[in-house]
């Protein structure tokens, strides 16, 4: 686990919220953020646990102001960020923002290199609760030396703010992230396609030991509801994020989502796995043909299991108790979390038919 963890209690379970980037890129304004925050309440997202409303790249004015501070775009965020954060807070939600550790953001807006303490104070004065710090235009710098500057800047700014490290896994952030921030991206940007999802998932193996309370591996924000994948593919995406104890940052238009998308994003039993208080991240425990088994220990000794089918056909997948550290004779109750159905008590193994590009998500408990 590297240097140990910071335990400030800001992210005891993986952060949940919404971020503007995946759906809107830089086409954002204060109205979108206000409407999204309201929709999070009305749609049941807030009740399901989503808290942070985060604006990504594109909120900034083209230059710092005369005092040297970051400013919001005067046309698109004319009421100012403090006003916007206040409106989000009034709905019982938290507000997040974006900057970059280098000389410019990925979209070419002013970034924070050399201004970390100043910008952290600015964010704190606006009432910001969460800051994503990106890694474009950082030539010659290393994540493990730059991000601790932010840790310190947040401390001296005097407002608790979640630090979302976004350096794409370049400098093995799982080694130093736990002492530095609350979540860290493990790889490049996700796209709204099956091929991209597979590429991201293949980069999460073996990282399970590094995630835990107040410091989480971040395989990137959710694409659920953006239209490029099937409902089964989105359920697989969401299931894997939950077994990985990943931050759940919705990335769709929550003002206009279908009932099917809402049902995935607010599914209580998968979310309870993601937010399990033990905070143990899962990992790959078995791969057979095109089926994978990912598993995670839960509070109380149970297990969450995802049977994940990567093939273009439906497949029979099996989890063996020995994959989970249990003996073959142990009895375990099995519940299907998407179907919300108890399947009975089994010994040795459980198998299920998994749809193409889909997942079956289970909770296993040994009777007392
Ligand atoms: C990088 C990040 C993305 C997003 C964009 C914004 O690509 O990894 O998540 O923040 O920048 O420009």
Please name the fold of domain 283-365: Immunoglobulin-like (2.60.40)
Ligand 1 atom closest to the CA of 220, numbered from 1? 9
Q: Ligand 1 centroid vs 107 CA: distance in angstroms? A: 8
Indicate whether 368 pLDDT > 90: no
Indicate whether 239 pLDDT > 50: yes
Q: For residue 168, give the 3-state DSSP assignment.
A: coil
Asked whether this chain's domains 16-274 and 283-365 adopt the same fold, the reply is: no
CA 130 to chain centre: 13
Domain boundaries, the chain: 16-274, 283-365
Average pLDDT over residues 230-247: 98
Q: Ligand 1 centroid vs 239 CA: distance in angstroms? A: 23
Catalytic residues: 134, 189
Closest Cα to atom 9 of ligand 1: 189
Ligand 1 atom closest to the CA of 168, numbered from 1? 8
User: Best mutation site among 17, 102, 189, 247 for ligand 1, i.e. most ligand atoms within 8 A of its Cβ?
Assistant: 189
The pair phi, psi for residue 92, each rounded to 5°, is 80, 20
Give me the pLDDT at residue 227, please: 98
Give me the pLDDT at residue 1, please: 38
228 Rama sector, left if φ>0, alpha if ψ -120 to 50, beta otherwise: alpha
Average predicted confidence (pLDDT) for the chain: 97
Please say whether the beta carbons of 133 and 166 come within 8 A.
yes
Band the pLDDT of 231: cuts 50, 70, 90: very high
Band the pLDDT of 138: cuts 50, 70, 90: very high
Q: Ligand 1 centroid vs 64 CA: distance in angstroms? A: 20
Distance CA 132, CA 57 (A): 10
pLDDT tens sequence across 271-328: 999 999 999 999 999 998 899 999 999 999 999 999 999 999 999 999 999 999 999 9
Burial 82-118 (b: 16+ CB within 10 A, else e): ebbbebbeeeebbbbbbbbbbeebbeebbbbbebbbb
Closest Cα to atom 8 of ligand 1: 189
Give me the pLDDT at residue 282, please: 97
Distance CA 367, CA 355 (A): 29
Range in 88-92, 236-240, 275-279, 364-368 the model is least confident about: 364-368
pLDDT tens sequence across 152-204: 999 999 999 999 999 999 999 999 999 999 999 999 999 999 999 999 999 99
Ligand 1 atom closest to the CA of 185, numbered from 1? 8
Q: Ligand 1 centroid vs 341 CA: distance in angstroms? A: 39
User: Best mutation site among 17, 24, 25, 56 for ligand 1, i.e. most ligand atoms within 8 A of its Cβ?
Assistant: 56
**Pocket lining for ligand 1, CB < 6 angstroms:** 21, 56-57, 105-107, 134, 166, 189
Please name the fold of domain 16-274: TIM Barrel (3.20.20)
Closest Cα to atom 3 of ligand 1: 189
Q: What is the largest CA-CA distance in the chain?
A: 71
Burial 214-228 (b: 16+ CB within 10 A, else e): bbbbbbbbbbbbbee
Residue appearing with tokens 């109750």: 333
- Read off the tokens for 27: 């086409």
Q: Ligand 1 centroid vs 106 CA: distance in angstroms? A: 6
């Amino acid at each position: 686990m590297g240097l140990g963890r910071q335990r400030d209690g800001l992210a005891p379970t993986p952060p949940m919220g919404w971020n503007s980037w995946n759906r809107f890129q830089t086409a954002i304004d204060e109205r979108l953020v206000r409407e999204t925050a309201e929709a999070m309440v009305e749609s049941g997202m807030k009740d399901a646990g989503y808290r942070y409303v985060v604006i990504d790249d594109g909120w900034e004015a083209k230059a710092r102001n005369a005092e040297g501070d970051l400013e919001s775009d005067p046309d698109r965020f004319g009421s100012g960020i403090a006003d916007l954060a206040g409106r989000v807070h009034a709905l019982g939600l938290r507000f997040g923002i974006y900057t970059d550790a280098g000389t410019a953001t990925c979209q070419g807006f002013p970034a924070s290199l050399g201004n970390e303490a100043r910008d952290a104070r600015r964010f704190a004065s606006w009432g910001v609760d969460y800051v994503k710090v990106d890694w474009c235009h950082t030539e010659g710098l290393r994540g493990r030396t730059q991000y601790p500057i932010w840790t310190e800047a947040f401390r001296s700014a005097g407002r608790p703010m979640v630090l979302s490290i976004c350096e794409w896994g370049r400098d093995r952030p799982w080694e130093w992230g736990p002492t530095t921030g609350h979540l860290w991206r493990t790889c490049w940007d996700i796209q709204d396609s099956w091929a991209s999802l597979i590429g991201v998932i293949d980069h999460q193996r073996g990282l399970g030991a590094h995630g835990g309370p107040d410091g989480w591996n971040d395989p990137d924000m959710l694409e659920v509801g953006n239209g490029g994948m099937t409902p089964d593919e989105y359920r697989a995406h969401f299931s894997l994020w939950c077994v990985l104890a990943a931050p759940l940052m919705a990335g769709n238009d929550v003002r206009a989502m279908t009932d099917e998308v809402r049902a995935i994003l607010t599914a209580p039993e998968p979310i309870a796995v993601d937010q399990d208080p033990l905070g143990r991240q899962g990992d790959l425990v078995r791969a057979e043909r095109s089926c994978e088994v990912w598993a995670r220990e839960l509070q109380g000794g149970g297990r969450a299991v995802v049977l994940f089918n990567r093939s273009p056909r439906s497949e029979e997948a099996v989890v063996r108790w020995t994959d989970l550290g249990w003996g073959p004779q142990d009895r375990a109750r099995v519940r299907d979390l998407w179907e919300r159905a108890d399947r009975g008590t089994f010994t040795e193994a459980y198998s299920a038919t998994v749809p193409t590009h889909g997942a079956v998500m289970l909770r296993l408990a040994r009777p007392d």
